[in-house]
Structure 1
Amino acid sequence: MTTDAADKPRAMEEEAPPGMRRVPGGAFQMGSDAHYPEERPAHRVVVDGFWMDATTVTNDQFAAFVAATGYATVAERPLDPAQYPGAQPELLVPGALVFHMTDGPVDTRDISRWWRWTPGAQWRHPHGPGSDLTGLGDHPVVHVAFEDAEAYARWAGKELPTEAEWEFAARGGLDGAEFVWGEELAPGGVHLANTWQGPFPWRNFEADGFTGTAPVASYPANGYGLHDMAGNVWQWTTDWFAARHAADPAKPCCAPQNPRGPAMEESFDPRQPQVRIPRRVVKGGSFLCAPSYCRRYRPAARHAQMVDTGMSHIGFRCIRRDPQNVQGKQKP
């Protein structure tokens, strides 16, 4: 990895924003040719330096935002039937998708076996009506749609990262490594992220100590001082999803700087071609990622997420760019 030498002196002169860590600018190998098709092709990218939240946003932090602004999340708002033609009336109520462990082995091609649309599920009630945030104040907030994450970021005077910024930060200086911490999933048998151990989605052996979300910073930070850049909850980025990364430029010297994804009109998930709702990229994997089902607890991994849907394994963290680094700004 090549870092921006000028970034370090400048960062040392700046006062670190509370709860944030400095991510130096530099070049790195983004994506992977060895795993899922959407991670290809691996290619060189350059990003400017920025500050990033050391952890994902917690329930306590999100509650402070809601108390200050009166904000209502997408999962709390009535649905417009005109936007969901043909939908069953019982589904057109405020709610979110909640994970339910199955009683035994199921066809993992059918996600409806473990995801249930749950009326009343939202960030305050993560498992649906009757559940609450008791004991979960330091856990990542979930059931936040993209615009909810953006609203929090604006209130906090921050932004959401691009996919390239997020991946650069997740690697923590280990350019090309398989995982955030190195080359082994559990070096020496030690679990370094909150993921799923066992046959998904019906048995979790809890070898890492958790079945659902874990308190933020339960695992060691990466090389940039950032916790939970793998597992626990997926994290929103501002890039629209495309089925593949853009190809490397013809000239090796011309690596894209502060790249962004495709236009919204070009965004769709090839696994669901009939669903034309635009999707943003989420990164990092979650507590539901298992070697037998979803090996997306790697910095190169990416997933398409519909912008209007909250789920019990998606959260976010924010960044703060240097004022002069306008290249990283994203178009709506």
Structure 2
Amino acid sequence: MEPTKSCCAASREQHKSDAGVSQAELPETVTTGRPYPKEKLIHIKGGEFQMGTNTPDGFPSDGEGPVRTVSVDDFMISPYAVTNADFQAFVQDTGYMTDAERFGWTYVFHLLVSEETQKKASNVAQQTPWWIVVEGAYWAKPEGPDSTIEDRLNHPAVHISWNDAAAYCAWSGTRLPTEAEWEYAARGGLTGKTYPWGDLLKPDGKHMCNIWQGKFPVKNNASDGYISTAPVDAYEPNGYGLYNVSGNVWEWCQDWFSPSYHRTTSSTNPIFREETGRRSMRGGSYLCHRSYCNRYRVAARSSNTPDSSSGNCGFRVVADVN
């Protein structure tokens, strides 16, 4: 199966009418301000695992395979994606402005935008018109100026670019996971399974993650309980205690993205370090659907430019074991 255009990969490259900001205009590097409490992280014991997939459900051009034996060292990982409350504390402490704020716009899924905001929006992402360019939207106003996060403080922070996630990590004394660490932890100790819980998407008819239910991109019947993001502790955790590593929001990783990842990186603590212009993302989001973007599988990969942001993109943090 070859990938179609990804519903989840709206990039600033797709909105050519905005010149954006240069890297030189970004704020100075954020320094450690409030170390992330180690007691809130899960200690993942290192070891070997089978990384990637060779199944027909995979996207070969994404570089999901070939399957190989990979080993990682011990590390600590958050059981949850970084929440709105977490990111709010960071911003209040540092005054940090996200890429969405500096550009003045970000991408919001069309069904989540109010009629008033939609009237003011004049642009959409090229090739993926369900992504609307909304001026004034950012992490604290995720659907535009007339929205709020006050009732979603325990939901994942969204409209977070890779640059923003890296800044939060610098402040909290953490880092982003490598793709190998992310997949090792997401598998929860299972070998070769499609999802963090097994091979069936809905075992015994039970929803296990927050993905699209209905006909993409026009109707989401939200039978899993959510039309947009879910709380970070929704659904059951995997075998290692991680929540929502399938669906909900895409999660940034350290690596630069390359389809040759599995063929060129080391089998020990692999990481793709050669700059490619795009950073890796894992896990899929609430917009993923088998008919269009079947990337909520644990081996699936995607990418975006480091300055891109959208309403389904967040992150979780890891830390080294001292």
TM-score normalized with structure 2 length: 0.80
Q: Conserved in 2, the CA contact under 8 Å of 1:194 and 1:214?
A: yes
Alignment of 1:1-332 (within 5 A): 17-34=38-55, 35-37=58-60, 38=62, 39-77=64-102, 79=103, 94-101=104-111, 111-247=127-263, 256-264=267-275, 267=276, 278-323=277-322
Amino acid at match of 2:313: I
Aligned equivalents of 2:188 and 2:127: distance in 1? Answer: 32
- Give, in angstroms, the shift of residue 246 of structure 1: 3.1
For structure 1, which runs of at least 5 residues remain unmatched after alignment? 1-15, 80-93, 103-108, 250-254, 268-277, 324-332
After superposition, the CA RMSD in angstroms is 1.8
Aligned to 1:85: none
- Give, in angstroms, the shift of residue 308 of structure 1: 0.6
Inter-CA distance 145–248: structure 2 relative to 1 (3 Å threshold): closer
Aligned equivalents of 1:262 and 1:124: distance in 2? Answer: 32
Q: Conserved in 2, the CA contact under 8 Å of 1:45 and 1:256?
A: yes
Q: Could you say what secondary structure the match of 2:157 adopts?
A: coil
Aligned equivalents of 1:166 and 1:311: distance in 2? Answer: 21
Aligned equivalents of 2:159 and 2:261: distance in 1? Answer: 27
Q: Conserved in 2, the CA contact under 8 Å of 1:53 and 1:318?
A: yes
Q: Conserved in 2, the CA contact under 8 Å of 1:240 and 1:281?
A: yes
Q: Could you say what secondary structure the match of 2:155 adopts?
A: coil
Q: Which has the higher contact order (CA 8 A, sep 6+)?
A: 2
Aligned equivalents of 1:70 and 1:303: distance in 2? Answer: 30
Amino acid at match of 1:61: D
- Give, in angstroms, the shift of residue 110 of structure 1: 6.7
Aligned to 1:272: none
Inter-CA distance 111–212: structure 2 relative to 1 (3 Å threshold): farther
Q: Conserved in 2, the CA contact under 8 Å of 1:41 and 1:245?
A: no
Q: Could you say what secondary structure the match of 2:214 adopts?
A: coil
Aligned equivalents of 2:182 and 2:146: distance in 1? Answer: 35
From the CA coordinates, give the structure whose radius of gyration is larger.
1
Aligned equivalents of 2:206 and 2:293: distance in 1? Answer: 20
Aligned to 1:273: none
Amino acid at match of 1:191: H
- Give, in angstroms, the shift of residue 216 of structure 1: 0.9
Q: Cα deviations across residues 179-232 of structure 1 (Å, max 9, x unaligned)?
A: 110010000100100011111111112111111000111111111111111100
- Give, in angstroms, the shift of residue 101 of structure 1: 3.2
- Give, in angstroms, the shift of residue 291 of structure 1: 1.4
- Give, in angstroms, the shift of residue 248 of structure 1: 7.8
Q: Could you say what secondary structure the match of 1:192 adopts?
A: coil
